[in-house]
Structure formats: C-alpha cells, structure tokens
Amino acid sequence: MKRGDTFVALAIIGIILMIIIPVPKGILDFLLSLNISLSLLILLLSMYAEDALQITIFPSLLLLTTLFRLTLNVSTTRGILKDADAGGVVEAFGNFVIGNDAVVGFIIFLIIVLINFLVITKGAERVSEVAARFTLDAMPGKQMAIDADLNAGLITEDEARQRRKDVQKYADFYGAMDGASKFVKGDAIAGIIITIINIGAGFLIGIIGKGMPFQQALQRYTVLTVGDGLVGQIPALLISTATGLVVTRAASEANLGQDLIKQLFSNRMILLIIGGVMIALGILTPLPKFANILLGAIFIFLGLRAKVSDKLEMAEPEIASTSEAEELRRPENVLGLLKVDDIELEFGYGLLPLADIDQGGDLLDRIVMIRRQIAMELGLVVPIVRLRDNIQLNPNEYIIKVKGVKVSKGEVYFDHYLAMDSGVGEGSIEGIETIEPAFGLPAKWITEKEREKAEIFGYTVVDPPSVIATHLTEVIKEKAYELIGRQDVKTLIENVREEYPAVVEEVVPKVLSLGEVQKVLSNLLREQISIRDMVSILETLADYGSITSDTDLLTEYVRQRMSGYITNKYVENNSLNVVTLDNGIEELIMNSINKTETGSYLSIDPSKVQLILNNTLKIIQKLTSIGEQPIILTAPIVRIYFKKLTEQMTRDIIVISYNELESSVEVQSVGVVVI
C-alpha cells in the first residue's frame, strides 16, 4: 500500500510536469491509449456500482482524469504546432474518421464535441446540482428518522451510528460531485478551444512557417486536429457518461444492467403489444419487412418469457403465506406477547403531532437527549422508550409506565404553553389552571398571545414537548433503581472490562455474583447516586466483598469511597447545614439491628418509629419553609437504617453519614431530631 501511495503521488506530479516538459512521441502514444482505457474503466465502474458510496473517490477521480486529459492535449498541441506530428494514435484517429474527405470528417468531429458538451456534460452538471441540494436539504429529516428508529427499538446503537455516517457520506459525496461536474464542463470547453487553436494556428504555421501548399496544410492539420480532438473527446465523453450515470441512479438498488433488464423487460403486456405493433408495421407498411417482423418476434418472445417469470413469482407468495399461517399456529409465538417494555409513554390522539416528525414534532429527539442526560448524570443506560398512542386516553392526556405499571400521568395542550410562577411573577395572566406534572408546581396553560405577556411578568414559559420531556426525565431518575437489571449490569461491567480487566476479574464472579452487584447499584440509584464511576465501585466491592455479602453494608462502603462525589453534590461554599440525630435515637437504632443470612433489618417498637418520624417531619418542614434543603447527618452504621425509616414518610429526605463528607467541609447543625 505504501508503494502504491508513492506511485500515485509521483504520477500526479508527472502529469503536472508534462505541461512544461515535452513528451516523446512513443510515450505520448502510450499515455493516450492509457487515457482511453482509464475512461472505459471508470465508465464500467459507474455501471456496476450498486451504491454511490462504493465509489466515493469519484469526485477526486474526475479532477485527476480531467487534469490528465488536458495535459495530454497540451502535449499533442505542442507536437501539432511544432512538428506537424502528434504521434501514431492521433494520426490514426484522424485518418480513420476523415478518410478522404476532410470537410465531412471535421463536421462529424464537431457533432461529437457538441453532443458531449451540450447533452451529456450540461445534463450531468444540472443533475449534480439538484442531487447535492436535495441531499443536503434531506439530511436533518434523515437524522431524525434514524433517531426515531433507534428510540422505537427498530435498530441498534451501532446500526444508528452507521446510518448517520452513511447520511453524512452521501451529503459529502453529492456535494463534491456538484463541484466535480464543473471539471467535466470546463474540460469540454477547453477541448473546443484547443481544437480551434490547433486547426487555425496549425494552418497558418504550416503555410507560413513550414512552406506547405494550401491543400497539403489543410489536409495535414485537419487530420491532426480531428485526431487530437477525438483522442481527448472520446475519453471525455466516457467520463461525462459515467458522471451522469452516478448522479442519476439515486433510487437504484442494483447495478445498471440488472436495473435495465428488470425495469424495461418485466411487464409482459407492454412487450406483447410492442411485438404486435412491430409485426403489423412490417406487414402493412412499406417499412423493411424482415427487420420489423424479426423485432416483433423478439419482443413477443420476451413477453412470453416475462409471463412465465410472473407465474413463478406469484407462486412464491403462496408458499410464503402458507408457511406464515403455519407459523402463526405455533404456540411458541405467544411468547412474544409476554415481553414487558421497561419504559412506555402513551398519549392521546391530540398529542400525536408532538411525536410526528412530518408535522414538526421533536419529542423523539428530546427522548434521545434524555437518555444521554441520564447516562451523564447517573451513569445508567436508559432502556428504549416505547411511544404508543392510546385511544382510551383523553386527547390531551399522557401516561408513563415503568415495567408495564403506570407510575405517573399528565395533561398538556398541543397549541398552548405552560406558564409557571417561580416566585418572582408579577401580574396576572389568562389561562387554564393546572399543576406542573414533574414538580407539582401551580401553573397555567396559556395561548401564544399571552406568551410574551407572561415572560414580561417573570413567568417561566415552556412548550408542551418540554413539559413531557421534563416529566419523563424526573420519572426515569426516580425509578432508575427499578430499571437497572442484571443484563444492564453485565453490559456496564463488560464496558469496564475493556480497559480494566483485572478489576472485573477480581470481583465477578469470584467475590460477588452479578445479582449482588446489581443490588448495590440499585441501592445507589435509589438515592440518586451516580454509578458512572464503575471502576471505583468495583474496586470497593473487591475490597469488602470478601468480608461481607450484605449488599446494604457494601452500599455504605461504596458511598464512603465516593465521598468526593457526594460532597460535591450536596455541599456549596465548603459549608453544609444539617439536621443531626439525638444520641438516644442512634443508640436505639444500633441496638435494634437484627442480622440474618439474607441481610439485616430493624426491630423497633412501632410507636417509637412513629414518634421519630413525626419529630423528623417537623424539623424538615421548618427548614423547607425558610428555603433550606433538608439534609440529615448520621453515624455511618445508622445511615442506611434511618434512611429506610424516613422512606415510609417520603423519599425526598437526604441522609448522609460523617464518612461521606470530605474533612474540609464545615458542618453546621441547624436542628436535632429527638424522641
């Protein structure tokens, strides 16, 4: 390959030097023949290519072949004007076309030039422009369609990535072809100019400079001009045709030969009619009988052959339908109906435009961004979100399901905006009273007319897709611990194994099983702790997994290892206001821990539990009323059990231990929970 690269580089340099350095006639003949053979090669490649991406080098190839052809024209022109001799190839072409009549031969040559310039070249240039414009305009829609298929689960991440690359390559290719077609057009114009120079200047040089008789000069320079023009124009015609073939076969799924045979000779009725007409013309008109009857017979034969092929093709669907019916009778097919989607978003028919790309809906794109956001924040690969319409819902209603169970719902108005008062809103606006579904804030659905007014008054105004996307994001975060399964854990671990194989081999399955690792990760996600740093998590499990198999305790060890993350998550300005527990409560919890083979649990008198929860709630409400975030700080051994107690009341209370804070944090107690 390296030698090939060097050869190509030297060849390009040599082509450029040929413009300046005279080329011997023998080498020039070889290069002219090489130019014709390369043109044939490019034409056949364009015919047999089934996809434009198979010949992505085509735009650069047009530039190189055009440069090569013009360089050869310069060399042949030098030979014609200087020596009245451009080599054997040029003279052979001239004599073959002109024969004994220079005028007729020159007219034929002009016709070939005009066909190439006015028909092939200009047509290919126009098609290239249109193809480039439509390909670039269609890029956003194609990208959105790929994201929609990915969200619907029709394709995998790898397939989506490959399709995006192909879309970009198509855009680059047709954009380059739009520019490269200008090379072909310029080449045709240059060929015409060089032809005029050769015959005009050569005629004058032959008569004045070389003293040739008029008739001899006309014959000699006409032969050389026509020969030189043909040697350049025939490859140019082949390249122009190849360019046209590449840019005009946008919807093709096979090579040109297969498409021609399939699409021209597949309709038996048309072939039979043409055959009958041709035979009738041969019998009933003065046209040549043999030629017309022969053509008619050929078309009838092709029509009858197409009829047999149609019968064979019609028989195939019957076999397929029979096998399909047998497949449906199999009891195993019911198993496909048992699958429960991890996340579903169902909506009424009034919200269909939000998910319809053709109507400008961008909900699918927002879901893609949600999956990326969750991956960055929590380190969780969110499963595919299934979008379904549900006619049983109200037109403006939607529901969110996790594992097939409805966990939340909301209502949005397609042609309205949601205005929320963040506490600084001044003035009143007209709208439909509602509750923001994600955070439960009072809000109003307003029309486009009220939007500007609401923004001036200080309201936060969002569109319906943003409302649904925000709600879905919060639900996924809240239910992240339910969404992570053993298969997801295995995927995360395999991802770590690629760079840190020693860490994975030490933990799974030697120390902990896949299920035990899953429980630890689920515990972390339950309290919104990111599992993105899987390496640190696995290293901690490797350190303590041989000491205990209690996943709750292992979770605490992991949290302590992630003290930097937890401190950064909850601490601002290196200071933290917390609520602490009375020593009596901590001692009561520690003395009430019962350990079993399957884990540990608390055994406390229900009346005392209720008292602890009531006192905790009072302090939490007091803090929230003054805008403080309620954070409870406990001893490490107490944290997990007190968190489980408070979850009976609410999951929003943050409970951390002393060991989860960096030593540099200044802790200030703003309340104590007592019995």
SS3 655: strand
In what helix (H) or strand (E) does residue 668 lie, and over which residues does it extend?
strand 666-673
Distances in Å between the alpha carbon of 310 and those of 162, 273, 316, 324, 479? 36, 17, 10, 21, 56
Q: For 422-441, what is the mean pLDDT?
A: 84
Q: Where are the beta strands (DSSP E) in 367-404?
A: 385-389, 397-402
Tally of CB atoms within 10 A around 213? 10
Tally of CB atoms within 10 A around 384? 15
Least-confidence region, from 156-160, 278-282, 570-574, 667-671: 156-160
Q: How far is CA 588 from the centre of its chain?
A: 58
User: At 127, is the pLDDT very low, low, confident or very high (cuts 50, 70, 90)?
Assistant: low
How far apart are the C-alpha atoms of 581 and 614, rounded to whole Å?
A: 13
User: At 349, is the pLDDT very low, low, confident or very high (cuts 50, 70, 90)?
Assistant: confident
User: At 286, is the pLDDT very low, low, confident or very high (cuts 50, 70, 90)?
Assistant: confident
In what helix (H) or strand (E) does residue 605 lie, and over which residues does it extend?
none
Here the tokens at position 393 are 């819902």
- Does 385 have pLDDT greater than 80? yes
Give the residue, 583 or 4, on which the prediction is more confident. 583
SS3 406: strand
Torsion of CA 513, 516, 522, 527, to 10 degrees: -140
Average pLDDT of the chain to the nearest whole number? 81
Half-sphere exposure of 255 (CA within 13 A, CB side): 11
- Does 317 have pLDDT greater than 50? no
Half-sphere exposure of 407 (CA within 13 A, CB side): 23
Q: For 626-648, what is the mean pLDDT?
A: 89
**153 conformational bin, left if phi > 0, alpha if psi -120 to 50, beta if neither:** left
How far apart are the C-alpha atoms of 612 and 641, rounded to whole Å?
A: 13
Q: What is the DSSP string of 141-205?
A: HHHHHHHHHHHTTSS-HHHHHHHHHHHHHHHHHHHHHHHHHHHHHHHHHHHHHHHHHHHHHHHHI
Tally of CB atoms within 10 A around 101? 10
- Does 542 have pLDDT greater than 80? yes
Give the pLDDT of residue 472.
Answer: 95
Q: For 382-403, what is the mean pLDDT?
A: 90
How far apart are the C-alpha atoms of 49 and 244, rounded to whole Å?
A: 13
Give the residue, 339 or 411, on which the prediction is more confident. 411
Give the pLDDT of residue 329.
Answer: 52
- Does 180 have pLDDT greater than 80? no
pLDDT in tens, 90-122: 778 777 766 656 667 667 777 777 776 676 667
In what helix (H) or strand (E) does residue 264 lie, and over which residues does it extend?
helix 256-264
The set of residues, in sequence order, having a beta carbon less than 8 Å from that of 170 and lying 6+ positions away, is: 52, 53, 135
Least-confidence region, from 61-75, 359-373, 477-491: 61-75
Compute φ and ψ for 382, nearest 5 degrees.
Answer: -70, 130
Residue 412 burial (CB < 10 Å; 0-12/13-18/19+)? buried
Check if CATH label 3.40.50.12790 holds for domain 573-675: yes
Give the pLDDT of residue 46.
Answer: 79
Compute φ and ψ for 631, nearest 5 degrees.
Answer: -125, 130
Least-confidence region, from 123-137, 244-258, 396-410, 514-528: 244-258
User: At 377, is the pLDDT very low, low, confident or very high (cuts 50, 70, 90)?
Assistant: very high
pLDDT in tens, 563-614: 999 999 999 888 999 999 999 999 999 999 888 776 788 889 889 999 999 9
Q: Which amino acid is located at 488 in the chain?
A: D
User: At 534, is the pLDDT very low, low, confident or very high (cuts 50, 70, 90)?
Assistant: very high
User: At 17, is the pLDDT very low, low, confident or very high (cuts 50, 70, 90)?
Assistant: confident
Residue labelled with tokens 């030979």? 79
For residue 510, what is the DSSP state?
Answer: T
Q: For 164-188, what is the mean pLDDT?
A: 73
Half-sphere exposure of 494 (CA within 13 A, CB side): 6
Which CATH entry fits the domain spanning 484-561: 1.10.1060.10, 1.10.8.540, 1.10.3720.10, 3.10.20.30?
A: 1.10.8.540
- Does 397 have pLDDT greater than 90? yes
- Does 307 have pLDDT greater than 70? no
How far apart are the C-alpha atoms of 647 and 642, rounded to whole Å?
A: 9
Structural domain spans, the chain: 2-257, 265-316, 343-481, 484-561, 573-675
Maximum alpha-carbon separation in the chain: 129
pLDDT in tens, 52-94: 667 777 778 877 887 888 888 888 888 877 777 777 887 787 7
How far apart are the C-alpha atoms of 615 and 162, rounded to whole Å?
A: 58
Give the residue, 209 or 404, on which the prediction is more confident. 404
H, E, C per residue of 119-149: HHHHHHHHHHHHHHHHHHHHHHHHHHHHHHH
- Does 320 have pLDDT greater than 80? no
User: At 421, is the pLDDT very low, low, confident or very high (cuts 50, 70, 90)?
Assistant: confident
User: At 660, is the pLDDT very low, low, confident or very high (cuts 50, 70, 90)?
Assistant: very high
Give the pLDDT of residue 312.
Answer: 45
Q: For 292-315, what is the mean pLDDT?
A: 70
Which CATH entry fits the domain spanning 343-481: 2.60.120.650, 3.50.50.60, 3.40.30.60, 3.90.226.10?
A: 3.40.30.60
Q: For 349-355, what is the mean pLDDT?
A: 86
* Highest mean pLDDT: which range of 157-171, 233-247, 503-517: 503-517
Give the pLDDT of residue 131.
Answer: 66
